[in-house]
Amino acid sequence: MPGRASPQESGTRSSRGDARDVVLVHGLWYGPVSLALMARRLEARGFRTHSFSYPTLGQALASNARALFDFVRERELSHLDLVGHSLGGLVILRMLDEWSGLPPGRVVLLGSPVRGSATVSKIVQKPWTRPLVGQARNALEYGFAHAPAGRDTGVIAGTRPVGLGRVFERLEPPHDGTIAVAETRLPGAADQLELPVSHTGLVLGSEVVDAVEAFLRRGHFARDDS
């Protein structure tokens, strides 16, 4: 099922033709509304955003990656940055692994369990909690642990231990309440950054937007000593 455009991208193409295009991909359960605040903040900083919507529970990773590819191709972009939260980052990685010929650009992953999620592994052990992850089970349980070739990828992990994941699993610190920092470590990433935010805070925090902007513009995260 192809993704749908969000209101963030309407009315911006002709008036801001020189803006960098950023496709935002939400995580499990959240939906595109979860990234609306980040989209507004990025728009205010000169980016043009496109929010991709997909069924997180009803379709497997491969189908959602194909839908993302179709979504991107339909927009005929000359430049393509991608930002994915949690499961959304895995959708991005799978798309870039499966298909070539996409416009150049960078990738930022926000709390994506590229090495698999211990929380999900615990959830799927019980028949009454297994439906909480649906068709995303394999992607979240096993991850997708390699960076895309030829495309700078930055990883942001949260370290504020507040989240639903703690109900199901005792996570190894540091973690964001749902995903452990160790589960976000991506071999081949250009840069990796830890911020004091929760898993949900990765889509709400202004400091996260600062970091995303820095990486998309320069290919590395800004730090106090840089």
CATH number of 126's domain = 3.40.50.1820
Contacts of 159 (CB under 8 A, 6+ apart): 174, 175, 176, 181, 194, 195, 196, 197
pTM of the model: 0.89
What single-letter DSSP state applies at residue 177? S
**Comparing C-alpha atoms, which of 29, 17, 78, 21 is closest to residue 53?**
29
Predicted local distance difference test score (pLDDT) of residue 212: 98
pLDDT 10s digits, 14-43: 345 568 999 999 999 888 899 999 999 999
| pLDDT surpassing 80 at residue 46 | yes
Is position 223 within any domain? no
Banded pLDDT at 165 (limits 50, 70, 90): low
Segments forming the whole domain that contains residue 205: 7-218
Is position 72 within any domain? yes
**Comparing C-alpha atoms, which of 73, 53, 64 is closest to residue 95?**
64
Total structural domains within the chain: 1
| pLDDT surpassing 60 at residue 163 | yes
pLDDT 10s digits, 194-222: 999 999 999 999 999 999 999 999 999 98
